[in-house]
Amino acid sequence: MNDTDCKPKIDYPCPWVYKVIGRNLEGLNSAISEALGQTPHTVTPSHTSRSGAYHSLNVALTVESESVRTGLYERLRRHPAVLMVL
């Protein structure tokens, strides 16, 4: 952690995983494709709720900088099919 702003120090480039949560798997996959474009990434299933109403996918990739990391987060978060990004 950096003592001045209590944020962890991240050395870029580095591997990163987003957990993307929504109600529709097709919509989540579309959101990921739209947000990441040609950026190399891997999508793996994470969890489905007991009722099947909610799904989560893990998106693993290498991020080159903090601005890239936060930009991808924002693009995923703003997609209508996405309820939450962790």
| Rounded distance between C-alpha atoms, residue 76 and residue 33, angstroms | 10
In a domain, 79, yes or no: yes
Buried/exposed 12-27: b ≥16 CB within 10 Å, e otherwise: eeeebebebbbeeeee
In a domain, 9, yes or no: no
CATH number of the domain that residue 49 is part of: 3.30.70.260
Per the structure, the count of domains in the chain is 1
Range of the domain at 53: 14-85
In a domain, 3, yes or no: no
In a domain, 6, yes or no: no
18-73 tens-digit pLDDT: 999 999 999 999 999 999 999 999 999 999 999 999 999 999 999 999 999 999 99
In a domain, 8, yes or no: no
Task: Assess contact for 72 and 63: CB atoms under 8 A.
Answer: yes
Residue 1 has pLDDT above 70, yes or no: no
DSSP string over 43-68: EEEEEE-TTSS-EEEEEEEEE-SHHH
In a domain, 33, yes or no: yes
In a domain, 78, yes or no: yes
Pick from 50, 72, 59: nearest CA to 21: 59
| Rounded distance between C-alpha atoms, residue 44 and residue 29, angstroms | 10
